[in-house]
Structure formats: C-alpha cells, structure tokens
Structure 1
Amino acid sequence: MGRIARFVRNDSSTIYHIMSRTALDGFPLQDIEKDHLMAIVARLSNFYFVDLLGFCLMGNHFHLVVRMHTEEAATDEEIGKRYRKQFGDDAVIMPHQVQEYRRRLVNLGAFVKDIKQGFTRYFNKRRNRKGFFWGDRFKSVIVQEGTSLVNLLAYVDLNPVRAGIVDKPENYRWSGLGYLVQTGNRHGLLDMNLGMHEWNEFNPNEIIRKYRQFVYETGAMDTGKGKQMKKEVVEKERKKRYRLNRVDVFRHRCRYFTDSGIIGSKEFVTEVFDGVKHLLDSKDQRRFTPVGGVEGVYSMKRLPGAVGG
C-alpha cells in the first residue's frame, strides 16, 4: 500500500500538530541535543512564515504546534528581510529566487525537512557517525483554533509529566509552557495565543495563568495513559487562585491528537475534509467521531497506517 497523502491546506492559514520520532534505540536526545534542536526550531520559525504555538522535545521524539501562513503573507520585502536575517546582512536574494522562496517558506514539509536534516547533520558530526537519525515520515494533524487547540497544547505540554520526568510541566524547559515560565518567552519565540484568543483573552499574564490552570486540571485527570500530576501539586496551585469554571471535564484521549487527520468542530472537520479528500485513494466515506469529554470537538481518523509522514 502506498503512502497516504498528507493533509495540507494552502489557501488559508492552518494550524498543524507535527510529531516525529527517532529511528535510534533508547533516548538519544540528551540535554545538549535538545538545546540544539530547540535552537534549530527557533531559527527556522523566524525564517519560515510560521507561528510557533507550542512544542515539546522529548528523549526520542518531538512535538511542534505551528500555524503555517499562505503565500499572501510572503511579500517580496518580507522575503528579502528574512533572507538577510538567515544568511547575513550582505546576502542578496536574486529576483528569480523570490518566487521559489515564496513557495518554500510557506510549505509544511520543507519546514520540517529543514529541522530534521539540520539536526541530523549536527548529531552525526557530534557523535562521529553516519546514517539516519529520524524514523518514518513525520505525522501531522490539522487542528482548529479554540477548544481543539488548547486541549492539544495541554496534551503536548503534559508529555514530560506523563513520562514521569517532572512533577510540574513548566519545570521541563524543552516545552512551550516551560519556555514561557522559565524565560518569559525570550525573543518572542512563542505565539502568545495558547488557544485563549477564541475566548477574547488577550492579556499575556491572564493567558498564561488561565492556560496553566487548564493544563494542571487536565494533568490531574486519570486518562489511562502515563502518569497523572500529583494531587498535592495541583492542590497547591488551586490555592493560588485557580478558578475551576470548566463545565466539561476533559478526559485526555491521546489518539485524537496523534492518529487523527483533522480535529475540530464537526463543521470544521467536514469543510477541511471536503478540501483534501482528493488526496486519498479510497472513495470511502469518513466517519467523524466526537472526542470524549470535550463537547463539540470531533475527529476524522485516517486509514490505519495513514498517519505519519
């Protein structure tokens, strides 16, 4: 069976959850490797027309949540500016190169390829080795703004808690929440949306506070996958003025955020599927499945083996 085409949208800004795993055994990404991978992600996020919404770099895989923009955002002036920032103030982009870069710098596959190839070169040189570092094609899921996004970001930030590495997600510096809390979002690396703009919250301090509350309360729930946050840790944060006003209890279903092709409202999933279904060989109808515990959020699960790449 051939590879299933990746779901991408080129006609509008789109959020993607990107996942990629190493081909090596064990946990080859140690602290220094994570620092370098994070530096590559930061540099390329400033080069490409992409907003970095969240991330988590683990010992054998990484998660990125990004918003890819369209070619309309890639003006000639902005392309030249980013080209010089990337290659030096004296670098000159030729007129015939502009359109090529316009297409490339809004391309999801090119963005991830540059990240993975750049890190592989570093890792192989550092370890004096040759060959592949990453495994199969990276996975990508299209994600809707709002409820779907904030649940996804919580899932990503809770990775080190579920793995038993830290008790509190912000104690892990190679994650979005850890970066925000520990560095104050140094260099403006992360887009300060965190899924809260849909609820008309634009105050950065309130966004972080409310998002932390959401992450802690989500992490305290038994999802049947990985470790929960310790009750005493959550209770201590509650006493610091957490306001528990969520009506719908979120039961974390990891498969929706890793094995889906699209997640969002039923209308959003239908709209996106209608725009990408021509990429599928199968003519079968897809079933839109409600995500348990999150009212109004649906998933379109891809064919077995389809997700990845």
Structure 2
Amino acid sequence: MARIARFVRDDRPTIYHVMSRTALEGFPLQDIEKDHLMSIVARLSRFYFVDLLGFCLMGNHFHLVVRMYTEEAATDAEIVKRYRRQFGDDAVIMPHQLRDYRRRLVNLGAFMKDIKQGFTRYFNKHRNRKGFFWGDRFKSVIVQEGASLVNLLAYVDLNPVRAGLVRKPEDYRWSGLGYLVQTGNRAGLLDLDLGLKEWNEFDPKEIIRKYRRFVYETGAMDTGKGKQLDPELVKRERKKRYRLSRADVFRHRCRYFTDSGIIGSKEFVAEVFDGVKHLLDSKDERRFTPVGGVKGVYSMKRLAGAVGG
C-alpha cells in the first residue's frame, strides 16, 4: 500500500502533534529510558527552531506537541549560536553549511529523525543489541492555536491517567504538566502558550494554574476509553484551587488527535487543506468531521490511498 502523505506547512510557523510507537513488545521505555529520551528531546528542542508546547513519554510510545518555525527565523547568526551550543564553543560551522542547516533545523522530519535515531543508538548500546527500536514512521497532525491546542495538550497530559499509572496528571514526571508542576518549567523547556492566549494571562504561575484546572475538568469527563480522574479528587481540587468558571466540556477521542491530518476550526482546516492537497494523489473533496464535545473544532482525516512521504 502506498504511504499516506504527511501534511506539512513550511511557509509559516505551524503546530504539530507527533506520536511515535516502539516496534518492541511490552513496555521497553522504563524510567531510565524515559529520562534519556527526555534529555534528547530537550537538547534537540534547543538546537532546532522549534517550541516545545507539550509532551508525554509512555512505556511504548511518546507524544510531542511542537511549533516548527520557518527558514526566516534561521538567520546565520542564530544558526551559528545554536551550532556552538550543540557541539561546543569551539565548534566551527563553514559558510557553505549554513544553507543546509537552515533547511534542516526547521524540518519536522529531521527533528523527529534525530530524536528517534539518537534514542535507538542509546538503547541498543545499553542493551547490547542491534536493530530497530521504533515501529512505523511517526504520525503527525497539524493543530490550530487556541481551543484546539489546549484540548490536544489536555489529551496528551491525561495519557498516564487513562493508562492507570497515576491518579493526578501532574504526578507523572514525563509529561508536560508534570514537568511544569514538579520543576517549575526548569530551563524554560516548555513554551507557556498552551493555547490560552485568549485568556490574556501573562503570569506563568497563573497560566499553569488555569491550564491545570482545564486538564482536571477535562479528565473528569467519562470518555468511554481508559480511566478518568477520580471525581472526588476533582471535587477537592476544584474546591481548593479553582474559580467558579468551568472549562468547556470535552470528551476526548483519541483518533482525532492521532489519526487526523488537521485539527482546528472549519475555516482553518479548509485553509490548510487547500495548501497541502497537492501532496495527495486523490481528487476527493474536503472532509470535515466535528470533534465530539468541543464546540467549533473540526478534524480532517488523511485520505486512504494517498501517496507521499
């Protein structure tokens, strides 16, 4: 079967939800492996022209939510700065290399390839093995700023709760919310956009509090898939920490956030689709699907039988 086209936009900063799953059986990503994978993600997030908005590293797969920038952001001076930060103050990048790095450091595929290959080398060395670690190529979804983004981030941060690993999402340290709460966003690893710009909040502590409230209210909903947050826990947290306003009711459906090509308003989905439809070997018209429980948010599934890389 032909490979399905990957939707990418390289003419403007774009947010992607990416997910990759291991090819090995069981849960090979234990604590030490998750720590190392997180260190690779952190290091490469400072090298590439990317904002890390959210993440969750599970036992057999991981999620990243990133904003990729365009070549306009990759000035010569900034490339040299990042190159030296990556390889040492004495590292020298030749003038003829700048063009190649400018293209590479804004490329989603190159970013993911470096993460996955770097971890595979580490895993194989420490397990004295050879061969593949990751399964099929990573999935990616284009995500609109605002409501679509905050709902996606909540879905990602609630993975450990749904899997029964923790009762409270911030107790899981290999997730965006866990990192924010447990470290105070050490080294500024995560961009604090979180899809909450329309709330006009600029205090980092208040942004985290409001986002945490949103995640709790989302996690309390019975989605029919996986575990939900303990209602009594949510009640206590709401009484102790939350204001009277409530986040929009949301019933997350995994397929929208992992198998879609585009997520956002109907206008956003239409705009992005018109810009990437040349990647598809299909004459099908646009297909919009409302995301259940999230008013005004739509999904466009990738089309079966399409080709591309």
Aligned to 1:142: 142
* Aligned counterparts of 1:248 and 1:6: Cα–Cα separation in 2: 30
Cα contact 2:140–2:261 (8 A) shared by 1 = yes
Cα contact 2:15–2:142 (8 A) shared by 1 = yes
**Partner deviation per Cα, 1:210-262 (whole Å, 9 max, x = no partner):** 10111001101100110000112111101113124247421112211011100
* Aligned counterparts of 1:116 and 1:198: Cα–Cα separation in 2: 35
> Does residue 238 of structure 1 match 2:238?
yes
Aligned to 1:299: 299
Cα contact 2:56–2:62 (8 A) shared by 1 = yes
Deviation at 1:153, TM superposition (A): 0.2
> Does residue 2 of structure 1 match 2:2?
yes
Alignment coverage as a number of residue pairs: 309
> Does residue 218 of structure 1 match 2:183?
no
* Aligned counterparts of 1:247 and 1:170: Cα–Cα separation in 2: 18
* Aligned counterparts of 1:248 and 1:204: Cα–Cα separation in 2: 22
Cα contact 2:49–2:68 (8 A) shared by 1 = yes
Aligned to 1:193: 193
Counterparts in 2 of 1:307 and 1:2: CA distance versus 1, 3 Å:
closer
The alignment-based identity, stated in percent, is 87
* Aligned counterparts of 1:56 and 1:102: Cα–Cα separation in 2: 28
* Aligned counterparts of 1:102 and 1:71: Cα–Cα separation in 2: 6
| TM-score in terms of structure 1 length | 0.97
Q: SS at 2:240's partner residue?
A: coil
Unmatched tracts of structure 1, length 5 or more: none
Cα contact 1:259–1:307 (8 A) shared by 2 = no
* Aligned counterparts of 2:173 and 2:83: Cα–Cα separation in 1: 29
Runs (4+) of structure 1 moved beyond 6 Å? 305-309
Greater RCO (Cα-Cα under 8 Å, separation 6 or more): 2
Q: Which residue identity is paired with 1:273?
A: F
Cα contact 1:142–1:262 (8 A) shared by 2 = yes
Aligned to 1:99: 99
Aligned to 2:115: 115
Q: Which residue identity is paired with 2:94?
A: M
Root mean square deviation, CA, Å = 1.5
**Partner deviation per Cα, 1:13-65 (whole Å, 9 max, x = no partner):** 00000000000000000000000000000000000000000000000000000
Unmatched tracts of structure 2, length 5 or more: none
**Partner deviation per Cα, 1:167-204 (whole Å, 9 max, x = no partner):** 00000000000000001111110001111113322221
> Does residue 69 of structure 1 match 2:69?
yes
